Amino acid sequence: MTGILQGRVAIVTGAGRGLGREHALELARHGAKVVVNDLGTSNEGEGLSDQPAHEVVRTIRAAGGEAVANGADVADFDAAREMVEQAIETFGGLDILVNNAGFVRDRMLVNTSEEEWDAVIRVHLKGHFAPMRHAAAYWRSESKAARTRAARIINTTSGAGLQGSIGQGTYSAAKAGIAGLTLVAAAEMGRYGVTVNAIAPSARTRMTEGPFADKMAAPESGFDVMHPGNVSPVVAWLASEDAADVTGRVVEIEGGRICVENGWAHGPAHDLGERWSAEAVGEGLRALLRQAPSPEPVYGA
């Protein structure tokens, strides 16, 4: 296999099914050597199976590529370190980390249990942090040894994290955290040759089969806007050496549409020059709100 990622080494988490599977296949198609990580859990994070990861590895190898399976829990700090070490020991280094693993437990806020909150925050937010932390340490050590790599991190946020989604408060909070983590990591890691970006995909996966089933249905003919494979070419380019000038960005992808998210930015402001009185805040804040754009509707509103 030859392409824009020829000879580069990648880890893709949650790569046994859905978006992660498509990412792993696309990276391999462009010449990357891929560590295919998947815990093999259900959509709710239950059960274990090594079969999804091994099936993707077999598919990559059958097409002439190089890949190995990994069954680490990405939110386990030590297991994430061992996953990074596996890539380095197997393929001689690491250039690309695609954080994709996750699951959902949709609940209205008033019905969300502590266990559900902890589980979703853990797999999404800590499951991004732990692999990033160990990959970043490796890239920093390489840079200090004058072996700076053209390293890339591609995280996975969501429209739910950017605009909000009714019935997905926990998931939205985790995905918003990932967007913020992406910005900080991009600012901190640039000195070591690392770019950090995030994608916000809209695609048909196990996680969208429930609340967005009608929107996600495959068409009888024509372009399948919701096929998860539509997202992966953006991931492949962001993972390439050509993308060295793009960092700290969130890119939304749906079908053939890509959109650069603006995110939080300072808007209208007024400095009173002294402490505001509570009575004056209402008039002052309403004046600023009239100048500000209206927020986008929360999904499901």
Active site residues: 158, 171, 175
Q: With left for phi above 0 and alpha for psi between -120 and 50, is residue 60 left, alpha or beta? A: alpha
Enter the DSSP assignment of 107.
B
Q: For residue 188, what are the CA distances in angstroms to 68, 115, 180, 191, 239?
A: 30, 32, 13, 7, 18
- Rounded-to-integer distance, Cα 47 and Cα 16, Å: 14
The one-letter code for the residue type at 213 is A
Query: What contacts 195, CB < 8 A, 6 or more positions away?
Result: 151, 152, 153, 186, 189, 238, 243, 244, 246, 247
Alpha helices by DSSP H, listed for the chain, are: 18-29, 51-62, 77-91, 114-121, 127-144, 159-162, 169-189, 213-216, 232-238, 278-291
- Rounded-to-integer distance, Cα 196 and Cα 185, Å: 6
Tell the burial category of 256 from Cβ atoms under 10 Å away from its Cβ (0-12, 13-18, 19+): exposed
- Retrieve residue 124's tokens: 């999404």
At residue 44, φ and ψ (nearest 5 deg) are -95, 5
At residue 36, φ and ψ (nearest 5 deg) are -95, 105
DSSP 153-214: EEEE--HHHHT-BTTBHHHHHHHHHHHHHHHHHHHHHGGGTEEEEEEEEE--SGGGTTTTHH
